[in-house]
Amino acid sequence: MAVDSEIKKKAELAKHKKAAYGQDIDLDKFGIGRKDIGETKDLRELKEEDQKTLLNVGVVPSDEGRSGSFVLMDNSVVHEKQLGTGVEVMSLQKALKVHDWLQEYNWKAVKADADKYTARTFIEEADGYFIHALPGQKVKLPVQTCLMLKSQDVAQTVHNIIIIEEGAELEVITGCSTSKHVDEALHLGISEFYLKKNAKLTFTMIHNWAENIGVRPRTVVEMDEGAVYINNYIALKPVKTIQAYPTANMNGPNGVCVFNTVAIAHPGSEMDLGSKVMMNAPGCKAEIVSRTITTGGKMIARGLMVGAAKDVKGHLECKGLILSNKGIQIAIPELDARVPEVEMTHEAAVGKIAQDQIEYLMSRGLTEEEAVGIIVKGFLDVGIRGLPPALKEEIDATLEKVDLARM
């Protein structure tokens, strides 16, 4: 408890600490998220428009084909369900009461005083999901979670912990979205993931916010020997400002870490998206791939790969398309080698679609708009190859709805 009060003191001091990246958000403008939204045993009992919102981010209201399901609206846990064996799914605050040992993981990967967003989330003792894959369990069906903004002018604070025990495998699909009637609101999401020896986690996050929503996720993944972490991040809809820089610390040898990012910055959106991989142990491999588009917004694609042990290999790729005169694309790939025996490469390219590609398709009888649409979809598609087919279909459907021809 002494330690806890120590952290608390630090968090209090960090209440106004600006983040290293991204535009500063005045937190005082946003009230505390509602904690009184009632629980729903069956997501199909939710209003139709809320069900639709869930579906759009890959969350199935029937919970069919899922081994667990969790929904947070504002700061209220409205749904928590464990459907399969080998995995625990419940709210974090409940889990902290059930498992004494969980305290060891609570606010350990992410520092409470990292910036004012982590500080506020800590001070509010935010709830979120706790997902725990038990040792050796290769869980076949994914766990789904949804974090939804339901009220105007509030800051949703979320704290999630995922633990994948030794030799276990799990897939998590998480969708973040805004309820139809919410104009302005804020999402602060802290995620701490712990992958034990030879554990594997595939984490796919779909962001579906809205024009006036601010988003500040803070994610740190701690990986032991032979652990595999695959992160897919997809954000195709407008958002006001998002700044994320998830970090994977590869602490044990021979781990594998992949970050795939696919995002569109619409007019009025500012997206500062990065991924950081620290290869701290020998034989680790990492890949960061981002495919981003601006149709008028500002897109910053960062990537940092640190090779701090011998025989590590990494590749970093930031590719960006500018589909509007008003759009801005900034690619910042960084490689940092701290020992000689590393092999790290990067590739960054920003610009418009090559005219010869458009005309090639036009020579097959397609209109210019059709040609641009196909090339853009192909460009994004590369970033999300390897996704589960059902999820891929949903994303394709979303892409269909984004009017690329207009851009």
Partner 1 sequence: MLEIQDLSVEVGGREVLHDINISVMSGYTNVLFGPNGSGKSTLLMTIMGFSGYKVTKGRIIFNGEDITNKSVSERAQTGIGLMMQRPPNLVGVQLGNLVKIMSKGRVKAEDLAEDLNLTGFLTRDVNVGFSGGEIKRSELLQLAAQNPCFVMLDEPESGVDIVSIEKVGKKVHELIRGTSCAGKSGAVGKGALVITHTGQILDYVNADRGYVMCKGTVACTGNPRELLHEIRTKGYDECISCNIGKKTLVKVKEEGAN
**Residue ranges in contact with partner 1 by CB under 8 A:** 354-357, 359-368, 370-371, 374-375, 377-382
Q: How far is the CB of 374 from partner 1 (least distance, A)?
A: 6
Q: How far is the CB of 255 from partner 1 (least distance, A)?
A: 28
By beta-carbon proximity to partner 1, the closer residue of 13 and 354 is 354
By beta-carbon proximity to partner 1, the closer residue of 343 and 368 is 368
Assess contact for 265 and 298: CB atoms under 8 A.
yes
Q: How far is the CB of 320 from partner 1 (least distance, A)?
A: 14
By beta-carbon proximity to partner 1, the closer residue of 48 and 356 is 356
- The tokens describing 387, both together, are 């996704």
Query: Cα–Cα distance between 257 and 307 in angstroms, integer?
Result: 13
Query: Cα–Cα distance between 201 and 292 in angstroms, integer?
Result: 24
By beta-carbon proximity to partner 1, the closer residue of 145 and 295 is 295
Indicate the pairing of strand 76-82 with strand 68-73.
antiparallel
Q: How far is the CB of 373 from partner 1 (least distance, A)?
A: 10
3-state secondary structure of 5: helix
Q: How far is the CB of 379 from partner 1 (least distance, A)?
A: 5
By beta-carbon proximity to partner 1, the closer residue of 132 and 319 is 319
Residue 406 per-residue DSSP state: T
Assess contact for 153 and 184: CB atoms under 8 A.
yes
Q: How far is the CB of 233 from partner 1 (least distance, A)?
A: 18
Query: Cα–Cα distance between 302 and 304 in angstroms, integer?
Result: 7
Indicate the pairing of strand 312-322 with strand 342-351.
parallel
One-letter identity of residue 399 = L
Q: How far is the CB of 354 from partner 1 (least distance, A)?
A: 6
- Largest separation between any pair of C-alpha atoms in the chain: 71
- The tokens describing 235, both together, are 């954000």
C-alpha distance across the termini of the chain, in Å? 55
Q: Which of 338, 368, 363 is nearest to 353 (CA)?
A: 368
Assess contact for 271 and 301: CB atoms under 8 A.
no
- The Cβ of residue 325 has, within 10 Å, a number of other Cβ atoms equal to 7
What φ, ψ does residue 9 adopt, rounded to 5°?
Answer: -60, -45
By beta-carbon proximity to partner 1, the closer residue of 143 and 322 is 322
By beta-carbon proximity to partner 1, the closer residue of 135 and 360 is 360
- The Cβ of residue 172 has, within 10 Å, a number of other Cβ atoms equal to 25
By beta-carbon proximity to partner 1, the closer residue of 24 and 368 is 368
By beta-carbon proximity to partner 1, the closer residue of 197 and 377 is 377
Q: How far is the CB of 367 from partner 1 (least distance, A)?
A: 5
Tell me, rounded to whole angstroms, the distance of Cα 405 from its chain centroid: 27
Q: How far is the CB of 361 from partner 1 (least distance, A)?
A: 8
Assess contact for 205 and 174: CB atoms under 8 A.
yes
One-letter identity of residue 240 = K
